[in-house]
Amino acid sequence: MAKPRGAKARASEVFARLGEVFPGSSAELCALHHDGAFQLLAATILSAQCTDERVNATTPALFARYPSPSDLAGADPEELESIIRSTGFFHAKAHSLIGMARGVDERFGGVVPSKMEELVTLPGVGRKTANVVLSVAFDKPGLPVDTHVGRLAKRLGLTVEDDPGKVESDLCSYLPPNEWGALSLRLILHGRATCKARNPDCLHCSLADICPSAGRVAAVAVAGRGTAGRRRATASATAEKAD
């Protein structure tokens, strides 16, 4: 098969191939357990610097105690922190959750807004979080860019940018809006399973033959480990001589 020529053609092929490995819509691919936009928004805020598994283990107690935006808006910060402590950064997350809930309750009548410009006015809600809610909860165009998406987009030659907003813009220019959310989640899943930051498994990657970085990133990682090993060995020998 001829390699796709140019970033746009490559993006389409990436979307198709990853769709065979990770089929489904944004809602079906989302790993965060939730029932509706409010729960997804809260879970996404909790997911910062935390695994989806840990968030999913935490949210049942959170939503049992605070089932609605008005309930969460009136939460006692210390009680809330005790519930979400295991997700890390619990002081900041509790502050964001209460602020978000108050915003939804007071400014949007208790209903999570479905527009980007409104979502990002809520405390703790940036563009990435808003895109998650738009694409998953509302089935609207939205392409969240996290560290996995940014890393894979560069390795696949789909962007040269580091800024998430610019990466989002580049990726959105390649595919129709109804595919943005699924592309993001497929890249995230592929990044976790195969194209890892330190040890990409290029040998078993379904995108290796169309990826400009295939083999090269893994080789650099191996070389880096070799260099680190030589440094440790040299340091150990030096220490033994000193003794």
Which phi and psi angles does 88 have, rounded to 5°? 85, 155
3 state SS of 45 = helix
As annotated, the active-site residues are 128, 146
**Domains of the chain, first to last:** 29-137 (1.10.340.30)
List pLDDT tens digits, range 99-155.
999 999 999 999 999 999 999 999 999 999 999 999 999 999 999 999 999 999 999
Whether 22 and 186 have beta carbons less than 8 Å apart is answered as yes
Convert the pLDDT of each residue in 4-27 to its tens digit.
789 999 999 999 999 999 999 999
Q: What distance in Å separates the CA atoms of residue 112 and residue 14, rounded to the nearest whole number?
A: 32
pTM of the prediction?
0.86
Q: What is the pLDDT of residues 27-75, one digit of tens each?
A: 999 999 999 999 999 999 999 999 999 999 999 999 999 999 999 999 9
